[in-house]
Amino acid sequence: MSVRRLAEDQFQPAAFAFSDENAVWADKTIQKYPAGRQQSAVIPLLMRAQEQDGWVTRAAIEKIADMLDMAYIRVLEVATFYTQFQLHPVGTRAHVQVCGTTPCMLRGSEALMSVCKSKIHAHSFERNAEGTLSWEEVECLGACVNAPMVMIGKDTYEDLTPARLEEIIDAFAAGNGASIKPGTQIDRVFSAPEGGLTSLTTAEPKARTRAKKADAETVSAPVVDAAPVPPSEAARPKSTDAETNAALKTPATAPKAAARNAKAAGQQPVSGTAAAEPAPALTVKAEAAPAAKPALTDKNRPAGIEKPAAPDDLKMISGVGPKIEATLNEIGIFTFSQVAGWKKAEREWVDGYLNFRGRIERDDWVKQAKALAKGGEAEYIKVFGKKPR
């Protein structure tokens, strides 16, 4: 998933408040959750804030955090994780989401994106000159059988051609989006074949009616006494296995009951025998101890240097925050060129020392550091297509 950040300060409003109607709705939504669980309402409240303002602002995140008694960072984590939340201003009349997953791609979604580039803006998430329209490419929107398709707001527009999408965009640009019927844009009902049904075209035969009276000579069936086994237990196989004994608890979920389990299991007859045999004691598998932190004297520790007069800002590497930077400085790592020169063994040592479990490789610190050491932010943008952290 790409890194998602809030819009720049120049776009952020000073404050946020729900409208009167939405404030009442928000209170009722929060009350749906038990006391102490109100934080579960964070996603519905963020979605309502987006529907009200068009996108999720920093002020909205902080307001919702205060309403739910949550730390700001916790609400920010939710807003930046789910791509349904727009973190930058979008078109005031329409934000076109073009599905680019395989079925839509095979059916011509690239042509739809070309229409968006020519009618709205050359780049996704950028608004047109009037600020009324924007677009983006998204993953599957769930209408694969009617590919290609787009979503605008909560409505989908399916079976599109470039010409039809141009008409839809023009209608929204003119403020007449409500005149466009959502769903398929060709002659079919939902996902039925185009032009009408091709099977099951005959009328369903009428069900036969039962005779009102039984034949007088018919012998009535004998009445059978009620079964001694309750219906809920009638089809359940009988077993004396310890695994089916509800009185026993597994040590994995109740470690203290392990001894009692062994004792109780010893009193249960083994399936298929008449005599009771003691069952083997159940044991709890001990958790593996965490890997030891590598020693500072290890031969694979990267070479450190004295702190230079102007050390590099290691926080520009994605995955390095203030705390990690301070730890790196403690072991003599101050420059991008040091990180860029790490060999595999040295990367593994640092990964273990920071207890990162492979994060250095996943975030590719070495490649980032090489770009920053070579040409700073400009080279980083050239290599990664975005600004460094």
| Of 122-136, 140-154, 188-202, 206-220, minimum mean pLDDT range | 206-220
The CA R_g of the chain, rounded to the nearest whole Å, is 33
* DSSP result, 73-139: HHHHHHHHH-TTS--S---SSEEEEEE-SHHHHHTTHHHHHHHHHHHT-SSTT---TTSSEEEEEES
**What's the pLDDT at 187?**
87
**146 contact partners, CB below 8 Å, separation of at least 6:** 158, 159, 184, 191
Query: Which pLDDT tens digit goes with each residue over 47-62?
Result: 999 999 999 999 999 9
Structure tokens belonging to residue 129: 């000159």
Asked whether the predicted pLDDT for residue 387 surpasses 50, the reply is yes
**What's the pLDDT at 262?**
63
**What's the pLDDT at 273?**
45
Q: How far apart are CA 121 and CA 117, in angstroms?
A: 5
Q: Which residue has the higher pLDDT, 181 or 217?
A: 181
**317 contact partners, CB below 8 Å, separation of at least 6:** 336, 339, 363, 365, 368, 369, 372, 388, 389
Structure tokens belonging to residue 299: 């031969």
The residue whose two tokens read 């009102």 is 212
- Closest residue by Cα to residue 247 from 235, 234, 265: 265
Q: How far apart are CA 44 and CA 86, in angstroms?
A: 14
**What's the pLDDT at 271?**
45
pLDDT tier, 280 (very low <50, low <70, confident <90, very high otherwise): low
Query: Which pLDDT tens digit goes with each residue over 237-265?
Result: 666 666 666 666 555 556 666 666 666 55
SS3 251: coil
Q: What does pTM read for this prediction?
A: 0.51
Cα–Cα distances (Å) from 298 to 200, 301, 302, 306, 352, in that order, read 75, 6, 9, 19, 12
Query: Which pLDDT tens digit goes with each residue over 263-272?
Result: 655 555 444 4
**What's the pLDDT at 51?**
94
Asked whether 382 and 375 are in contact (CB, 8 A), the reply is yes
| Angle at CA of residue 141, ends 135 and 147, nearest 5° | 90
Cα–Cα distances (Å) from 138 to 87, 106, 142, 154, 157, in that order, read 15, 15, 11, 14, 14
- Tell me the residue type at 98: V
